[in-house]
Structure 1
């Protein structure tokens, strides 16, 4: 997984269905499907952002913003015919925030680490040249918030009904 979070949609048999409909297509189903797919992607990004906020995932706005289409860290690709939607973020800590993580690398064999710097109110400022002050980090497990998993579960509840409505609307207007 290496820090990336991706979401891919593949619907088995969709290519064959679209090919079968091409002879009777007069209402631009492929175009409507592409618009619908883009709308689902935008809705999903909104759901992910809502879950980041709802679960109070620690964030400096980078994570939240990376789930905005057009953000430099956002992952977005869409293909209409074969219905591929690839959404995610390139932030390396996104999966840690979702899944959980250790505060110090447990593979190093150390149970604590000294970080040089100074406290400015309730904020810590890292300073590698500081010799007198800093903070001691002890190995601790930080639970993930499951924001991504929650968003997928929410989308899963609405996705099939949304696709059914699109197909029914197209069929009703063309047959």
Structure 2
């Protein structure tokens, strides 16, 4: 049995091993992490999950609350956020405890509620479900579709440069 190009492939792989493949892979992995964070930020904006902007800013490398851990030798990258409420925005959550009812003192004026801590009137807030936006899953879905294509392109470009 004869396989065309096997010797050439063998020489190319041998050369690849000597020419800094791990360094190139680590650079690519780092760029991939940045690309994923960009996708997460895009999905947060698309879902309208912005109030103060803290969640959006936390999905940027080096930002407060950001997780960015890279292990170059083993080619491991971990990205995310340390903001406790990030999962609530993504997955959804209940407001308050099971039996919790909150009394908010204040008055209604022209259809808007105005908080007044000394008021004898007010409103009652009952527990309700706040639907999650799924920004993380949406970003990951897009990322999975792009990952293989980008990996193949990067490898081919690198192999062609050898």
Matched, 1:95 2:84: no
1:39 to 7, 27, 31: 31
Q: Output one character per residue of 1:137-165: Cα deviation in whole Å (capped at 9) or x when no partner.
A: 21111110100110000100011121222
Instruction: Say which of 124, 139, 148 aligns to 1:160.
Output: 148
Q: Name the TM-score, length of structure 1 as normaliser.
A: 0.73
Alpha-carbon distance between aligned partners in 2 of 1:23 and 1:94, rounded to the nearest angstrom: 45
Q: Does 1:173 align with 2:157?
A: no
Shift of 1:131: 3.5
Bigger helix fraction: 2
1:13 alignment partner in structure 2? none
Residue 40 of structure 2 contacts residue 139 of structure 2 at CA under 8 Å; is this kept in 1? Answer: yes
TM-score for both structures, normalised by structure 2: 0.78
- Name structure 1 gaps, 5 residues minimum: 1-20
Cα pair distance change 1:54/1:37, threshold 3 Å: same
SS in 2 for 1:85: strand
Distance between the aligned counterparts of 2:31 and 2:16, measured in 1? Answer: 25
- RMSD between superposed Cα atoms in Å: 2.8
1:52 aligns with 2:64: no
Q: Does structure 2 conserve the Cα–Cα contact (< 8 Å) formed by 1:103 and 1:137?
A: no
Work out which structure has the larger RCO, using CA pairs closer than 8 Å and 6 or more positions apart in sequence. 1
Superposition map of 1:1-175 within 5 A: 24-106=16-98, 109-110=99-100, 112-115=101-104, 130-132=117-119, 135-174=123-162
Size of the aligned set, in residue pairs, is 148
